[in-house]
């Protein structure tokens, strides 16, 4: 609403144009064209609200104080990486070297990898591992619910505490907001040490509310590690939606990389100067060569996206991408379309079950372009396929927490496990084949014939997608 007084209206008018012109000089800096366009449209049409929103969430980086704490952890990560490389480094070729440049951790051999796509089975294994723990348990998770599943894990942790096992849980307060207070109370009553990842303070803001720690990493005794997409919550915690997940249970030297990331995330949220718990390199336990690729605003580049785009450009035969939320940027779209033009088979598996309407509309806006380029799109039936995985040419498999969307690329702290050995990749391909068999493939002509009223909200959601 404009001010009633003529002089105030003039001041308002001039202020709006100052905001618009200032945005032209500030917004495009270090942003993708899509994000720049979205922000400029918002600010030009709604200068006041747009400026406030930009100041709150417009800069994908942490406050300077947290950056300093993150930099203080670099010697710790480098030490763990060097010792892991000397003790168990495996030759993962150019991909392994590039992933180390992106995420600091080397590829490591001598591991066992068990891929678990049974939601309840993951908790059965985790509880058994906690009940057998002898030294320590560290859980880093986006959602830790105060529900039947959360109580089950808390009960196992309480038993471990009584045996003298040090147990720590870090959860994301935004992801866990529904259960936050109950979860905190439940865990503290169990004797578990608890911290929140990236806490948000309204008056003294320690992090942006939309930059979240989305990792799911569980480490037991430094010798067993879990990485994947599964939170600690009932699989049907949303009405009429049942989640389907994928988790890798790892034993062997590579667990040291998981332990280092969890220890670093725990230390950075403490009040004292960062001093992570020491990380030992576990003994060999198998033959698998794997590598942890952490990513987020604490790293130089968007690690998961950079690795994915590079691998798609190098693909020769087939790429399978599985993600519940597909809101890519130009580099991902370009890599997929150019690979398809080189006659690389690309299968994109998304979920037919929808839990985030606006994200789903934005996702659908890309389908026609992809289908026209020859990319095969499959919609997984009956369940929300929340699993995130990728396979490229039977030479690389990826299982982790990162979606193929701008949020995971630029805003969230994520963790992806890279699989290099034939047995692990074959198991992942088998699981992905099951996804394809349980999906319906989209047809270009049928998609183009969808109701015209669907196109407008899809287009609007796409414009908003860099802000989602």
Q: Is the pLDDT of residue 263 over 70?
A: yes
pLDDT score recorded for residue 64: 77
Q: pLDDT tens digits, residue range 398-434?
A: 999 999 998 888 889 999 999 999 999 999 999 999 9
The fold of the 303-467 domain, in CATH, is Endonuclease; Chain A (3.30.870)
**169 forms bridges with which residues in the sheet?**
139, 194
Contact criterion met (CB below 8 Å) for 399 and 419: yes
Rounded Cα gap, residues 363 and 407, in angstroms: 13
Which residues have C-beta within 8 Å of that of residue 243, sequence separation ≥ 6?
A: 119, 230, 235, 236, 237, 383, 384, 386
pLDDT in tens, 228-248: 999 999 999 999 999 999 999
User: Residue 468 pLDDT more than 60?
Assistant: no
Length of the chain as a residue count: 468
Residues with Cβ within 8 Å of residue 258, at least 6 apart in sequence: 217, 219, 225, 227, 250, 292, 415
Predicted confidence (pLDDT) per residue in 371-387, tens digit:
999 999 999 999 999 99
Tally DSSP H helices, then E strands, for the chain. 18, 19
Mean pLDDT value across residues 70-79: 94
Taking the C-alpha atoms of residue 322 and residue 129, their distance in angstroms, rounded to an integer, is 28
Contact 245/387 with Cβ under 8 angstroms? yes
Residues of the chain with CATH 3.30.870.10: 64-95+107-290, 303-467
Q: pLDDT tens across 12-25, in order?
A: 667 777 777 766 66
Mean of pLDDT values over 336-345 = 98
Q: What is the dihedral of CA 38, 39, 42, 43, to 10 degrees?
A: -150
- CA nearest to 294, candidates 400, 188, 159: 400
Q: Does the pLDDT of residue 308 top 70, yes or no? A: yes
- Chain Cα centroid distance, residue 350: 16
Q: Which burial class, exposed, middle or buried, applies to 380 when counting CB atoms under 10 A from its CB (0-12, 13-18, 19+)? A: buried
Q: To 5 degrees, how large is the angle CA 36–CA 348–CA 358?
A: 45
State the pLDDT at residue 15: 75
Dist. CA 108–CA 126, nearest whole Å: 23
Residues 6 or more apart whose CB falls under 8 angstroms from that of 8 comprise none
Q: Is the pLDDT of residue 203 over 60?
A: no
**What is the full DSSP assignment across 226-243?**
EEES--BS-TT-BTTB-E
pLDDT at 29: 56
Q: How far is CA 296 from the centre of its chain?
A: 9
DSSP character string of 245-297:
--EEEEESTTHHHHHHHHHHHHHHTSSSSP-PPP-PPPPP-SSEEEEEEEEST
In this structure, how many other beta carbons lie within 10 angstroms of the beta carbon of residue 120? Answer: 9
Instruction: For residue 173, name the pLDDT band (cuts at 50, 70, 90).
Output: very high
Q: Is the pLDDT of residue 363 over 90?
A: yes
How is residue 434 written in tokens? 């099951």
Token pair recorded at residue 284:
């060999």
Least trusted range by pLDDT, from 69-73, 175-179, 273-277, 292-296 = 273-277
Q: What 8-state DSSP symbol labels residue 391?
A: E
Predicted confidence at residue 460, as pLDDT, reads 82
Evaluate if residue 185 carries a pLDDT over 60: yes
Lowest mean pLDDT among 79-83, 114-118, 197-201: 197-201
Per-residue confidence band for 207, with pLDDT thresholds at 50, 70 and 90: low
Q: How far apart are the first and last CA of the chain?
A: 27
CATH class of this structure's domain 64-95+107-290: alpha beta
CA distance 125 to 168: 18
Helix axes 64-72, 255-268, angle to 10 degrees: 140
Residue-level pLDDT at 7: 59
Of the listed ranges 15-24, 107-116, 271-280, the least confidently predicted one is 15-24
Give me the residues paired with residue 447 across strands: none
What local confidence, expressed as pLDDT, does residue 230 receive?
98
pLDDT at 420: 98
Pairwise pLDDT comparison (5 vs 177), residue with the higher score? 177
Which sign, positive or negative, has the C-alpha torsion 102, 105, 109, 110? Answer: negative
Average pLDDT for residues 126-151, to the nearest whole number? Answer: 98
**Integer Rg of the chain from CA:** 23
Q: What is the mean pLDDT of the chain?
A: 90
């Amino acid at each position: 609403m404009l001010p009633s007084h003529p002089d105030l209206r003039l001041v308002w008018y001039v202020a709006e144009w100052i905001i618009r012109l200032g945005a032209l000089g500030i917004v495009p800096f270090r942003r993708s064209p899509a994000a720049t366009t979205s922000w400029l449209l918002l600010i030009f049409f709604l200068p006041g609200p747009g400026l406030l929103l930009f100041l709150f969430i417009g800069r994908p980086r942490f406050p300077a104080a947290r950056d300093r704490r993150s930099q203080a952890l670099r010697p710790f990560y480098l030490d763990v990486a060097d010792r892991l490389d000397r003790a168990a480094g495996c030759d993962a070729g150019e991909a392994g070297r590039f992933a180390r440049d992106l995420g600091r951790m080397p590829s490591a051999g001598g591991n066992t990898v068990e891929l678990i796509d049974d939601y309840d089975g993951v908790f059965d294994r985790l509880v058994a591992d906690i009940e057998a723990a002898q030294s320590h348990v560290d859980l880093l998770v986006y959602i830790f619910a105060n529900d039947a599943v959360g109580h089950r894990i808390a009960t196992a942790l309480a038993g471990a505490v009584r045996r003298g096992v040090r147990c720590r849980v870090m959860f994301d307060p935004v992801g866990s907001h529904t259960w936050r207070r109950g979860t905190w109370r439940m865990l503290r009553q169990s004797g578990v040490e608890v911290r929140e990842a990236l806490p948000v303070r309204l008056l003294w803001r320690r992090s942006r509310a939309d930059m979240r720690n989305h990792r799911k990493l569980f480490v037991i005794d430094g010798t067993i590690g879990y990485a994947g997409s599964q939170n600690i919550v009932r699989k049907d915690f949303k009405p009429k939606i049942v989640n389907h997940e994928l988790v890798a249970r790892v034993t062997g030297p590579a667990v040291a990389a998981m332990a280092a990331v969890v220890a670093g995330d725990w230390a950075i949220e403490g009040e004292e100067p960062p001093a992570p718990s020491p990380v030992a390199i576990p003994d060999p336990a198998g033959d698998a060569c794997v590598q942890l690729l952490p990513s987020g605003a604490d790293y130089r580049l968007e690690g998961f996206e950079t690795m994915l785009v590079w691998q798609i450009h190098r693909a020769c035969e087939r790429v399978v991408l599985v993600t519940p939320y597909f809101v890519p940027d130009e580099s991902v779209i370009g890599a997929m379309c150019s690979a398809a033009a080189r006659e690389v088979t690309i299968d994109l598996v998304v979920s037919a079950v929808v839990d985030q309407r606006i994200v789903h509309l934005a996702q659908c806006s890309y389908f026609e372009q992809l289908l026209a380029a020859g990319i095969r799109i499959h919609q997984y039936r009956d369940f929300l396929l929340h699993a995130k995985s990728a396979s490229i040419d039977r030479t690389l498999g990826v299982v982790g927490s990162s979606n193929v969307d701008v949020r995971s690329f630029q805003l969230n702290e994520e963790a992806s496990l890279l699989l290099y050995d034939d047995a692990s990749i074959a198991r992942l391909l088998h699981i992905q084949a099951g996804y394809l068999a349980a999906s319906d493939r989209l047809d270009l002509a049928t998609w183009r014939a969808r109701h015209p009223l669907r196109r407008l909200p899809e287009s609007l959601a796409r414009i908003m997608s860099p802000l989602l």
